[in-house]
Amino acid sequence: PFPPLKDPLLQRTQAYINGQWVDGMQSMQVINPANNRVVGNVPNLSTTETERAIAAAQAAFPAWSAKTGKERAALMRKWFDLMTASTDDLAILMTAEQGKPLIESKGEVAYGASFIEWFAEEAKRVSGDVLASTWANRRTVVIKQPVGVCAAITPWNFPISMITRKIAPAVAAGCTIVIKPAEQTPLSALALAELAHRAGIPAGVINVITADASNSVAVGKALCASPVVRHLSFTGSTPVGRILMEQCAPTVKRMGLELGGHAPFIVFEDADLDAAVKGALASKYRNAGQTCVCTNRFYAHASIYDEFVRKLAEGATKIRVGNGFEQGVMQGPLIDDAAVTKVEQHVSDALAKGARLLTGGRVHPELGGRFYEPTVLADTQKGMTIMSEETFGPVSAVTRFSSDEEVIAAANDSEFGLASYFYSRDIGRVWRVAEQLQYGMVGINTGAISNEVAPFGGVKQSGLGREGSKYGMDEYLDIKYLCMGGI
Ligand code: ADP
């Protein structure tokens, strides 16, 4: 089902608890979404193993947190180097279980590894503060300490980077962690654990629990309910984020939530149109539209509307769809049948309510299965499902607008607030619009915004907290105030 690995031991078939590879009572299959073939088997674990992993993380915490930042950084740097050296194999595993084109998988390995490198460097720069005291005989000192045992629940769309974006700041800060990767993509997570093991990261610091969709609910409950776990970081859908928040309430955990988005992409009349089309294609069709920062709604000014939709459709038609392992393929399959059904529903709802189909609009006629044609819908309007719900597929919806006020109001008319984009060359407008968009991230004259240096995260119901960047480490550090008297 996939090309041979140079290092076959990177394909693990067991979960990773307390530095050991462990089996479960049951196992589950990992499926290649391109052809429905079995890629491998991993344990289907549940509450008992989760409790064991939490206990292992708790036992590992004192020694790991007592290391200096520099010592932790050295181990993380080794892990980063091993990951980078294994790029080809990690990319093969990722394409096999997730479907994205091999070139995108390689890009994700580099992106994922960059968080380990970045936070290894940051581990050396956790600083406290001495504040001016209002008491002559006391001093006000602030120190930062790791929050303790952490847990992470991650999605299938970025099988490596959504994990490293959480593990790296956690272990850099001195925390230990239990990770429950998405049921669709456990192999990438286990390969990362194997490399962490080889890098010498001590037993119990990183633990990976694999579970199917139904056991994931039980694992999630155990992680949330545990008083030992002090922080839960989740990337996934907003409904599941709400459930986890509720489940974390009894133990008042700190939480990082990266939830759904519904990104607007505005093309103003003064935009560089070709650049806007290029940015639009990159933002919409990457990972077959299955990212939380993918554009969901395009708004093009009336004066350039026709030209924009024509060029966007031309570009979309040129995207080559196929098995991610084939040379030149730019868009792989959707993750599962439910994903295809959702895309079909969004497209048929839009067409029934008056949208115009310019290209695509169906399952790929030759490839079938989960391959969906890159699609462009023009004349979409508020009230269509696609205008408010995340499609998570390769479908552009383009709406016409005539004034800045109108388009900003439309762009902000969403319960989500993750990524947004706009194209304009007018510096005054650039500032005004950037400040008015109610989103955690704004791409200005670019459709690609993510890297390890930048704070990733949303406002409104898109989540809490920021990942990556110099701010990302704060999620895993508690502030402690020392009031030093008797001076
Ligand atoms: P997606 O639509 O991307 O699959 P989900 O939010 O359903 O998003 O899944 C993201 C992650 O959350 C996966 O690891 C999945 O197993 C996990 N998950 C889904 N439902 C629950 C739940 N009720 N409790 C804990 N984890 C869950």
Give tens-digit pLDDT for 412-456: 999 999 999 999 999 999 999 999 999 999 999 999 999 999 999
Q: Which atom of ligand 1 is nearest to the CA of 211?
A: 16
For residue 286, the CA-to-ligand 1 centroid distance in Å is 22
Q: Which atom of ligand 1 is nearest to the CA of 180?
A: 14
In this prediction, the answer to ipTM > 0.85 reads yes
For residue 235, the CA-to-ligand 1 centroid distance in Å is 8
Judge if the beta carbon of residue 237 lies within 6 A of ligand 1: yes
Nearest in space to 46 (alpha carbons), one of 18, 22, 24 = 24
For residue 8, the CA-to-ligand 1 centroid distance in Å is 29
CA atoms within 13 A on the CB side of 225: 9
- The model carries a pTM of 0.98
CA atoms within 13 A on the CB side of 486: 2
Q: Which atom of ligand 1 is nearest to the CA of 181?
A: 14
CB-based contacts of 31, cutoff 8 Å, min separation 6: 37, 38, 39, 97, 184
In the numeric block, the tokens 């590879």 are attached to 21
Q: Which atom of ligand 1 is nearest to the CA of 183?
A: 16
Judge if the beta carbon of residue 155 lies within 6 A of ligand 1: yes
Single-letter code of the amino acid located at 44: N
418-437 in b/e form (b: 16+ CB < 10 A) is: bbbbbbbeeeeebeebeeeb
Answer whether 354's CB lies under 8 Å from 65's CB: no
CA distances (Å), origin 461, targets 153, 256, 438, 458: 18, 13, 11, 8
What's residue 160's pLDDT? 98
Looking at ligand 1, which residue's alpha carbon is closest to its atom 21?
Answer: 217
Judge if the beta carbon of residue 217 lies within 6 A of ligand 1: yes
What's residue 376's pLDDT? 98
Report the residue among 46, 153, 343 best suited for mutation to probe ligand 1: largest number of ligand atoms under 8 A from its CB. Answer: 153
Judge if the beta carbon of residue 153 lies within 6 A of ligand 1: yes
Looking at ligand 1, which residue's alpha carbon is closest to its atom 15?
Answer: 182
Other beta carbons within 10 Å of 359: 18
What's residue 1's pLDDT? 72
Looking at ligand 1, which residue's alpha carbon is closest to its atom 11?
Answer: 155
As annotated, the active-site residues are 258, 292
Q: Which atom of ligand 1 is nearest to the CA of 335?
A: 4
Q: Specify burial of residue 463 (Cβ count, 10 A radius: 0-12, 13-18, 19+).
A: buried
Looking at ligand 1, which residue's alpha carbon is closest to its atom 9?
Answer: 236
Report the residue among 240, 247, 248, 255 best suited for mutation to probe ligand 1: largest number of ligand atoms under 8 A from its CB. Answer: 240
Q: Per-residue pLDDT tens, the chain, 487 aa: give them.
A: 799 999 999 999 999 999 999 999 999 999 999 999 999 999 999 999 999 999 999 999 999 999 999 999 999 999 999 999 999 999 999 999 999 999 999 999 999 999 999 999 999 999 999 999 999 999 999 999 999 999 999 999 999 999 999 999 999 999 999 999 999 999 999 999 999 999 999 999 999 999 999 999 999 999 999 999 999 999 999 999 999 999 999 999 999 999 999 999 999 999 999 999 999 999 999 999 999 999 999 999 999 999 999 999 999 999 999 999 999 999 999 999 999 999 999 999 999 999 999 999 999 999 999 999 999 999 999 999 999 999 999 999 999 999 999 999 999 999 999 999 999 999 999 999 999 999 999 999 999 999 999 999 999 999 999 999 999 999 999 999 999 999 9
